[in-house]
A and B are shown apart, each in its own frame.
Chain A
Amino acid sequence: DAGVIQSPRHEVTEMGQEVTLRCKPISGHNSLFWYRQTMMRGLELLIYFNNNVPIDDSGMPEDRFSAKMPNASFSTLKIQPSEPRDSAVYFCASSFTGTSGGGTGELFFGEGSRLTVL
């Protein structure tokens, strides 16, 4: 049974370039979350989707960041243009959330995409 799949695992790019991170959630899960992890700030929730609809994007740092979920099996996080301070590990996680908010509660994380912006 495949878990959450993220790509690429590692990305090194130069400042100003566009970066696209991809995520395939676990089949049957209807909530998807993008987190960013750095030593300085720990794990930060960037955005989350429920049934492909963005519910809360208050954690997105600025307009350079955008996320989409065109269907239940795919999501992207795009940074354009990238800056050195965007260097971090970006995690995608998925879960099942019921219509009234109930669900198993636990998140299933991918292995992360380590981004380095030079």
Chain B
Amino acid sequence: SQQGEEDPQALSIQEGENATMNCSYKTSINNLQWYRQNSGRGLVHLILIRSNEREKHSGRLRVTLDTSKKSSSLLITASRAADTASYFCATDANSWGKLQFGAGTQVVVTP
């Protein structure tokens, strides 16, 4: 069963716009991670936020975590066509690296 649920399932935006996607999970976590998957490729790690952190930045990415609401959000600022991909949140309950992935948000960025 999947731990995380992403919202929306799909997102279509134009280059330069911001893209925001949300993830909700059910049980307590050690950390939450976001991954990107381009069509036909493997998943690539984007960013990790620990349970005692509330916000984290990496380049054009901003992640927030609200453990009281069991939710996280990923913001991609100034999107580019190359950001077109599926984005997955994944939760790690015990820091052993056993991740439970959500269903993903499919993002399409049009030039």
Q: Which residues of A pack against B, CB within 8 Å?
A: 4, 31, 33, 35, 42-43, 45, 48, 50, 55-56, 91, 93, 95, 97, 101-103, 105-112
Contact = CB atoms under 8 A, between A and B. Distances in A.
Contacts of B2: 42-43
A31 B97 contact: yes
B95 A45 contact: no
Given A42-B103, A111-B42, A105 B95 contact: yes
B95 A101 contact: yes
B45 interface: yes
Contact of A55 (B33, B96, B99): B96
A106 B44 CA distance: 9
Interface residues of B, number: 23
Contact of A101 (B35, B94, B101): B94
Nearest to A31: B97
B45 A108 contact: yes
Contacts of B35: 107, 109
A95 B41 contact: no
A52 B43 CA distance: 23
B31 A105 contact: yes
Contact of B42 (A97, A103, A110): A110
Interface string B1-41: 01000000000000000000000000000010101000001
Contact of B97 (A91, A97, A112): A97
B87 interface: no
B100 interface: yes
B96 A97 contact: yes
Given A31-B96, A42-B104, 10 more contacts: A35-B101, A42-B103, A43-B88, A50-B96, A55-B98, A56-B98, A93-B43, A102-B95, A105-B33, A105-B95
B43 A109 contact: yes
B48 interface: yes
Nearest to A97: B97
Contacts of B98: 33, 45, 48, 55-56
Contacts of B33: 105-106
